[in-house]
Structure 1
């Protein structure tokens, strides 16, 4: 089983997508892929993820957060996880929220 990954950065203060946010996918300290959010605040990664713990690192540069790291687990085959993971963040200057989207 292979798992693809996408993200979406929404600016809660401005009420619109956050364009141009550098984002990288890491595993075990190695960068697997880098990208930048598009005009809709979205980024779909080409790299296919294997089971284990991965990290999305968002270079958001808010007044409080220079970056946000979201760690998540890709389940082993047969564990019922979908073949695509969507991990968005809702961002404001002093807070953020994330969830496993669809």
Structure 2
């Protein structure tokens, strides 16, 4: 089965999906970092399509960067600088299957896991 990558963002402080967050996907190859795709979360906190669709999928090392600063400011965070602004998550995909990498976000912390 061909692989693909999806993601979403949940605001754990507000208890809801995080809409309007820009996401950038990079492929990592040694020290090289190549931009592959960009997307924005919708009202459900998800991208409208897989951020890495089947036609572009390849196993390897990747980085998702969640640009959370504007979202957190809109939620009332006024610290300058913010504790969290850009949140990078580096991960590997070793098999051609669906990989889901969500971000659970709050103003002062985040977590992720390999979802389904």
Task: Give the number of equivalent residue pairs.
Answer: 97
Deviation readout 1:45-92 (Å, 9 max, x if unpaired): 2443212100111001143111111111110xxxxx461110001100
Which residue of the other structure, out of 25, 40, 44, is the alignment partner of 2:44? 40
Residue segments in structure 1 that go unaligned for 5+ positions in a row: 76-80
Distance 2:111 2:89 in 1: 10
Q: What does residue 104 of structure 2 align with?
A: 90
Q: Compute the TM-score of the two structures, normalised by the length of structure 1.
A: 0.87
Q: SS state of the match for residue 83, structure 2?
A: coil
Residue segments in structure 2 that go unaligned for 5+ positions in a row: 73-81
**Cα RMSD (Å):** 1.5
Distance 2:52 2:90 in 1: 19
Conserved 8 A contact 1:2-1:50: no
Q: SS state of the match for residue 30, structure 1?
A: strand
Conserved 8 A contact 2:7-2:101: yes
Higher fraction of strand: 1
Matched, 1:67 2:73: no
Q: SS state of the match for residue 31, structure 1?
A: strand
Q: What does residue 78 of structure 1 align with?
A: none
